[in-house]
A and B are shown apart, each in its own frame.
Chain A
Amino acid sequence: MSPRTLFEKVWDAHVVRPETAETPAVLYIDLHLVHEVTSPQAFSVLREQRLPVRRSDRTVATMDHSTPTLPRRADGTLPWADAQAEAQVSKLARNCQEFGVELHALGSSTQGIVHVVGPELGLTQPGMTVVCGDSHTATHGAFGALAFGIGTSEVGHVLATQCLLQRKPKTLAVRVEGALGPGVTAKDLVLAIIAKLGVGGGTGHVIEYLGPAIRALSMEARMTLCNMSIEAGARAGMVAPDEVTFAWLKGRPRAPRGEAWEKAVAAWRQLPSDEGARYDREVAIDASAIAPMITWGTNPGMAIPVTGTVPAPAEADAADRATLESALRYMGLTPGKPILGQPIDVVFIGSCTNSRIEDLRAAAAVMKGRKVKVRSLVVPGSVEVKKQAEAEGLDRVFREAGAEWREAGCSMCIAMNGDRIERGQYCVSTSNRNFEGRQGAGGRTLLASPATAAAAAVAGAVADPRQMGAA
């Protein structure tokens, strides 16, 4: 057999029916993750057509987008954003019960953001196909799984048939040479990659991240990296599994055990791309040249080093000029001015991009012994992460610095649960999207790493985390 890429191996192993000129491939899905926002209409289709969930053992639900991150009130009620949010969450609970789907409900010890909980439970494993009605499903590619976001119609397809109709995407190799410098993280790396590819640059492709800088990343960092593949337009991002992956997975509640573990690892070792495997496209990037990054505009590709200056539209070509001008107008930033020192109003540390234990450790390292100057929200990705952080005393660091320590959920990443910024406010956020109004109508988002966000909280302005001892 000719040499194959990691993606091709996973794809080939899941083809139920190969694609032809007339029809797409029928692709088998190993793990289907479900949350409250994109599933209700899909369950309705099943009900209308009197269909069961074909593989409830491969379907796992959690509540995250619309859930409150403040604790229960004294009277025992939850501080819902509104009646609709509560109705959507309880609808998921009813749907899961009716269709026999495993649910990690609000209040349980395994609740959290769908892309944090899946890996944490050991549900996400190398070589799997993983889907969810959520574009950041790409996160799970960190394990060498083929993981991508689907719409609600497709959620219905997978619930009913455990399969999807798919045309085979193209492959894009992103080779990252060298090593990241001190205080420079996977978030900075991925922002630099998106800035290079452009927000539509990966359209139609699955990215495989390769090279020494990728091998050196922890699993948390690989998840951050793969998570934002969609922000370059890519269907999915993947990192080949290795010893780091196996060590992280071993002993997780749903990971194989004993002999089954040994067998699984032996199979997973066959997954990395073969020597000489071909990609449809390749790009290279030097990790050592990357500084902590921050976005200045209204899409994740509009990123610069924290030490850089806000771009001037006059220097762009005509096609880009209008886009740049409108982004600058929305953001209220001055072209040509350094971004460092830009005053801010809010800091958000959380989201499926950066709410894992390592992210919280990085933020705490900067906040330790300091005070925040602006409203700062720290939202762990899952109840499990919250427990771990509290065991390490990170919650105390945040509280003593003056930050709010919240319950697990998506929170201010998408502002559906009542956590949001106000019109005109600037928020340095560790989430993944700086689209207009994403964190609240009229709000302005600057995306950055947890260390950079923590530094901004302490300074009350955009700051360089390396000046505050970020490692």
Chain B
Amino acid sequence: MEPLRTIESRTVVLPSANIDTDQIIPARFLKVTDKQGLGKALFADWRYDGEGKPRPDFVLNRPEAAGAKVLVAGDNFGCGSSREHAPWALVDAGFRAVISTKIADIFRNNALKNGLVPVVVDAATHARLLAEPGAAVRIDVEAQTLRLPEGAEARFPLDAFSRYCLLNGVDELGFLLSQRPAIDAFESRR
């Protein structure tokens, strides 16, 4: 994983509440055995019509969404399945952060392991972001802050370990492997 310190981008806004993992990436795209190239399946059933043609009115298909790294979603983002294909698809499509008022546990865990920052903000900040699609924001992982266009700042929670891993591009597996002596001891104790 590449170290990730700051993200500067215009936002893309998907205001629906409870966007579930089946919307982020429908199950028929889960038959792959690697992680690459899932970006094209991102929000597939919202992005394309029954014939597979892009729906011009869907935000991700609009020219202003090109290059966006920050997704602002309605309340409670990422509920449902444990498919890590959801953050893989978001990252493959260029996203580095998702902002909502609540982010589902498994999705959050999966996101953090793939350099996608889950940013949980208060209702007022959220309402502002929803009302202002395309706002230029800056996310500082170290300071745990989200800066809005006129310089207002909101803080977001981030577990110290996850923050360390993001900032240094550290993979959790390496840390767990370094715990082998403790794991050996635990196993022989039981």
Contacts and interface: CB of A to CB of B under 8 A. Distances in A.
Interface in A191-214: 199-200, 203-204
Contacts of A88: 31-33
B35 interface: yes
Contact of B34 (A22, A40, A438, A441): A40
Interface string B143-175: 000000000000000011100100000001101
Contacts of A323: 16-18, 74
A415 interface: yes
Contact of A438 (B17, B22, B102): B22
Most buried by A among B28, B104, B180: B28
Contacts of B79: 199-200, 233, 299
Nearest to A432: B80
A91 B35 CA distance: 15
A150 B15 contact: no
Interface in B77-106: 79-84, 87, 102, 104-106
Interface of A is mostly: loop
Q: Which of B31, B113, B159 has the most CB of A within 10 A?
A: B31
B172 A437 contact: no
Interface in B24-49: 26-28, 30-35, 45
Given A91-B33, A416-B30, A163 B75 contact: no
Given A17-B182, A26-B179, A161-B177, A437 B26 contact: yes
Contact of B82 (A16, A87, A150, A165): A150
Contacts of A91: 33
Interface in B120-140: none
Contact of A322 (B15, B28, B160, B175): B15
A26 B183 contact: yes
Contact of A200 (B27, B102, B109, B172): B102
A135 B102 contact: no
A153 interface: yes
Given A151-B84, A233-B76, A441-B45, A416 B27 contact: yes
Contacts of B31: 37, 66, 82, 84-85, 87-88, 416
Interface residues of A, number: 68
Contacts of B172: 153, 157, 165
Nearest to A49: B173
A38 B83 contact: yes
Interface string A313-340: 0000001001100100000000000000
Contacts of B18: 199-200, 299, 323
A24 B175 CA distance: 11
Given A151-B106, A441-B50, A165 B20 contact: no
A117 to B, nearest CB: 18
A165 B105 CA distance: 14
Contact of A153 (B76, B114, B182): B114
Contacts of B35: 41
15 contacts: A21-B160, A26-B176, A26-B182, A38-B83, A51-B177, A84-B31, A161-B179, A161-B180, A200-B75, A235-B106, A299-B79, A319-B75, A414-B27, A416-B28, A416-B31
Interface of B: 15-18, 20, 22-23, 26-28, 30-35, 45, 50, 74-76, 79-84, 87, 102, 104-106, 109-110, 113-114, 159-161, 164, 172-173, 175-177, 179-180, 182-183, 186-187
Interface of A: 16-17, 21-24, 26, 28, 37-38, 40-41, 44-45, 49, 51, 54, 65-66, 82, 84-85, 87-88, 91, 133-135, 137, 149-154, 156-157, 160-165, 167, 169, 199-200, 203-204, 230, 233, 235, 299, 319, 322-323, 326, 414-416, 423, 433, 435-438, 441-442
The 4 closest A-B pairs by CB, nearest first: A200-B76, A151-B110, A40-B33, A151-B84
